[in-house]
Amino acid sequence: MIENIDTSLIDWSRAQFALTAMYHWIFVPLTLGLAIIIGIMETIYYRTNDEFWKSTAKFWMRLFGINFAIGVATGLILEFEFGTNWSNYSWFVGDIFGAPLAIEGILAFFMESTFIAVMFFGWNKVGKGFHLASTWLTGIGATLSAWWILVANAWMQYPVGMTFNPDTVRNEMTDFVAVATSPIAVDKFFHSVLSGWVLAAIFVVGVSCWYLLKDRNKKFALASIKIGAIMGLVSSVLLVVSGDNSGYQVGKKQPMKLAAIEGLYRGSKNAELTAVGVMNPSKKTFDDGIKPFLFKVEFPHLLSLLADHDFHSFVPGVQDIINGGYQQKDGTIALSATEKIKRGKLAIVSLSKYRKAKRENRLDDAQVAYKSLMQNMPYFGYGYIKDVHQLVPNVPLNFYAFRVMVTLGMYFILFFIVTLFLSCKNKLSGMKWMHWVAILTIPLGYIAGQAGWIVTETGRQPWTIQDMLPVGAAISKLNVSSVQTTFFIFLLFFTVMLIAGCTIMIKSIKKGPGIEN
């Protein structure tokens, strides 16, 4: 592990990974959602034999294909960065983290790449039933890819199913089922996939409203809007349920993240949920004595309900988590950050003593060191923390990003209700203001998704793996200039791909589905 490293290397490595991840997530959610919408439309074609639905499905399929291709390119780069920029991380937990990614590549991505060819080029070469199955299997493959990638990410948030091997200095998987089905993974999967469905529904409704605004392809547009609005409304409501489950799991497994999301510096029973607030820019640390908010509106008891499904439970704040001494949900008393750092350093020293004793064949000394290591291993990562202030994520960033996500989520529910109502009442065609609302809602769907991932990833800082490995001990030993150079190369490359993808999709949209009004 790297103990002394230039902090600018950490910052640039994180920035490069964040850049790649954010560009990648521009394309993934639309792929996940459009796959379902296309499957629904082709199913209607299969059942009715109406060529209109075939043409409708083929139009949205073209946009799916453009988005899918660029998403694959950014995703491959993202996975390679684990080896290039985060080699210590890959060494330390590669046996565990690599398993779901390998399954994703071998099984899920193979399924996608196999059936996507039939989906695009098999209309006149295979039977309707086989083609329909290929379309759905492409969507299922994309969803399974998301499952295994999100399992890997969830393990970083809540590491389970492994044991540390001091002889290899690696964590080794002992329970694959625990890794694959952890509560964090399940909630993350449903929340992420449902957000993709919501984005695709917004996209379909927005693009279709553009056709209504231009007074063309009305039948196609109204049919697509109805399917998009129904799927969007159902997905948005389910997203609220999965979001509540995610909040509960975060409260149990990542209390510091929950405290950052809420701007909660001092915990309490009957904790209030902040609906709207303006954080005090003068507040820099948890112990500077400055009030965290200039203004806020709270809902009594709701944070306790979110965190523990109990109106009266205690929710720890940043200062409580750092100082320790409160009763945790498992009944134990929380250790202070200082004590965790002390035990983490003891674990690191014990590991060094164990390996030295083994090399010198001093088996009794090795056993003593091993026992000390295992006792303090839960705090191993804290041994690389030099200051307790490093354990506090960026509170304002998480506070505002979370509220952007939630506010937009509530807006989307209202948006789909209004859209579906107007569509069912046959009033949508002539309402140009609503057409503009739908078109302008498209970028809001992307903003909501990005805000969600900002909370997910920055809320667990400084950890690459929660409580186990901080970013400073996970990165590769590289020249800062190399990372800076590749950052700007990727920025240029991804931006060019984004512009190219958007340009091709806009041209395809302007060309239209080839269906008369």
pLDDT tens for 236-273 read 999 999 998 898 999 889 999 999 999 999 999 999 99
**Cα–Cα distance measured from residue 130 to residue 110, given in angstroms and rounded to the nearest whole number:** 18
User: Quick check: 391 and 256 in contact, CB under 8 A?
Assistant: yes
pLDDT at 370 over 70: yes
Residue 66: band (very low, low, confident or very high) from pLDDT cuts 50, 70, 90:
confident
Residue 517: band (very low, low, confident or very high) from pLDDT cuts 50, 70, 90:
low
- Indicate the average pLDDT of the chain: 91
Q: What is the pLDDT of residues 478-510, one digit of tens each?
A: 889 999 999 999 999 999 999 998 999 999 999
For residue 127, CA distances in Å to 45, 60, 118, 123, 302 come to 13, 20, 11, 8, 54
Q: Any idea which of 80-84, 109-113, 351-355, 426-430 has the lowest mean pLDDT?
A: 109-113
Please tell me whether residue 176 adopts helix, strand or coil conformation.
helix
pLDDT at 200 over 60: yes
Helices first, then strands: H and E counts in the chain? 17, 8
107 vs 9, higher pLDDT = 9
Which class for 488: exposed (0-12), middle (13-18), buried (19 or more C-beta within 10 A)?
exposed
Q: What is the pLDDT of residues 203-221, one digit of tens each?
A: 999 999 999 999 889 999 9
Sign of CA dihedral 411, 416, 421, 422: positive
pLDDT at 424 over 70: yes
Q: Interior CA angle at 108 toward 204 and 229, to 5°?
A: 15
User: Quick check: 311 and 270 in contact, CB under 8 A?
Assistant: yes
**Cα–Cα distance measured from residue 184 to residue 466, given in angstroms and rounded to the nearest whole number:** 12
**Cα–Cα distance measured from residue 231 to residue 514, given in angstroms and rounded to the nearest whole number:** 24
Please tell me whether residue 163 adopts helix, strand or coil conformation.
strand
**Cα–Cα distance measured from residue 273 to residue 27, given in angstroms and rounded to the nearest whole number:** 33
Q: What pLDDT does 82 receive? A: 84
Q: What pLDDT does 309 receive? A: 85
Please state the rounded mean pLDDT for residues 160-189: 91
Q: What is the pLDDT of residues 371-399, one digit of tens each?
A: 999 999 999 999 999 999 999 999 999 99
User: Quick check: 253 and 182 in contact, CB under 8 A?
Assistant: no
Residue with tokens 């109406």: 50
Q: Interior CA angle at 445 toward 440 and 451, to 5°?
A: 125
Sign of CA dihedral 357, 359, 360, 364: positive
pLDDT at 514 over 90: no
Would you report the helix, strand and coil content of the chain in percent, each value rounded to 5?
A: 75, 5, 20
For residue 408, CA distances in Å to 202, 203, 411, 426, 449 come to 12, 15, 5, 26, 10
Distance of CA 385 to the CA centre of its chain: 26
CA-based nearest residue to 148, from 244, 75, 235, 88? 75
pTM for the whole thing? 0.91
Residue 516: band (very low, low, confident or very high) from pLDDT cuts 50, 70, 90:
low
Residue 104: band (very low, low, confident or very high) from pLDDT cuts 50, 70, 90:
confident
Q: What pLDDT does 434 receive? A: 95
